[in-house]
Structures are given as C-alpha cells and as structure tokens.
Amino acid sequence: MSFYESLLEQTSSERDYLLGAPIIRQAMSGQVSLPSYVAFLTEAYHHVKHTVPLLMACGARLPERLEWLREAIAEYIEEEYGHQEWILNDIRACGSDADAVRGSTPQLATELMVSYVYDRIARHNPVSFFGMVTVLEGTSIALATQVAGVIQDKLQLPN
C-alpha cells in the first residue's frame, strides 16, 4: 500500500466527520448565511496561515533518508505560499473586514488543531502532519467547486 493509500485509509473516519460538519451540510444545501460563511472563512484563515510554517517545520525534522520527501515538501511550500491571502480576499468579497480577521484570535478548536500538529511534528513524527493535510485538503478539493457555486449563488457573491 502506498503512503497516500495508507493516509486515505487511516483518515477515512476523520474525513467523514469533517463532511458532516454543520457548516458543510448547510453550505451544500444552500442554507448558509453570510455571517456563518465569514466565520468559517475566518477560522480557515487562522488555519491556513500556518500551512507553510508547518510544512517548513515538517521538512526540517525529516531525517536524511527522507530527502525525497523534503524535496516534495519544498515544492508543496511553493504551491501553498500565500493561500491565506486568498481567504482574506474572499472575506473582503463578503463585505467583511479582512484586516480585523488578520488581527483576530482563532477559536479554541482551531488553535488546538494547529497547536496539536506543531506538537506532533516537533515531538513525535513529522510525517504525521500529512494526516491532517489529507483530511482538510482532500475534503476541500472534493467539495470546493460544488459548494463554492452554491454559496456564491445563495449569498450573491462576486467571482
């Protein structure tokens, strides 16, 4: 079984849990409000702003025998760099104050999720970071196009 297949197998219940989140169900059914969507984007910002630092921390902790993975992480960093700014742009498109979001404090659940991953990288296994990536990135990619259209139509947001 490949590393990716193992990640998918070991994170299936977490991916299902995320798909069952109220904001996801509401968005898919077109029942999302602008304040709840902005709240979702706010927490997404507070999580995504850590993606590149987490990738850097993961790469720094890898042993030399995993140099091939460090190279892949460097490419991933290039791909992910600045994505938190995209979220702030979406917050602006919703008519909300992106600068206030940038200076705000995340909800406890978001803070704990990010802190947990930093801890796993530093004290346990740096590759454990990819479990969270698989759940969040894999789920968001699977839903992005479908849910984005529903939210845009329902809330009459620009492209």
What whole-number distance in Å separates Cα of residue 51 and Cα of residue 87? 13
Which is higher by pLDDT, 4 or 84? 84
Number of structural domains the chain divides into: 1
pLDDT, residue 13, reads: 84
Confidence of residue 78 (pLDDT cuts 50, 70, 90): very high
In a domain, residue 1? The reply is no
In a domain, residue 3? The reply is no
- pLDDT surpasses 80 at 136: no
Mean pLDDT within 27-34:
83
What whole-number distance in Å separates Cα of residue 76 and Cα of residue 52? 9
pLDDT, residue 156, reads: 86
Instruction: Output the domain CATH number for residue 67.
Output: 1.20.910.10
In a domain, residue 2? The reply is no
What whole-number distance in Å separates Cα of residue 141 and Cα of residue 145? 8
Mean pLDDT, the chain, integer: 88
Mean pLDDT within 60-72:
94
Token pair belonging to 152 = 């845009």
- Closest to 133 measured CA to CA, from 35, 2, 26, 3: 3
For 8-34, b/e burial (b = at least 16 CB within 10 A) is eeebeeebeebeeeeebebbeeeebee
- pLDDT surpasses 90 at 138: no
In a domain, residue 103? The reply is yes
pLDDT, residue 73, reads: 95
Mean pLDDT within 82-111:
96
Specify the range with the lowest mean pLDDT, choosing from 13-22, 29-38, 57-66, 103-112.
13-22
pLDDT, residue 158, reads: 87
Regarding pTM above 0.75, the answer is yes
Single-letter code of the amino acid located at 24: I
Q: Domain containing 98: what range?
A: 8-155
Which is higher by pLDDT, 105 or 142? 105
Mean pLDDT within 2-14:
81
Token pair belonging to 20 = 């069952």
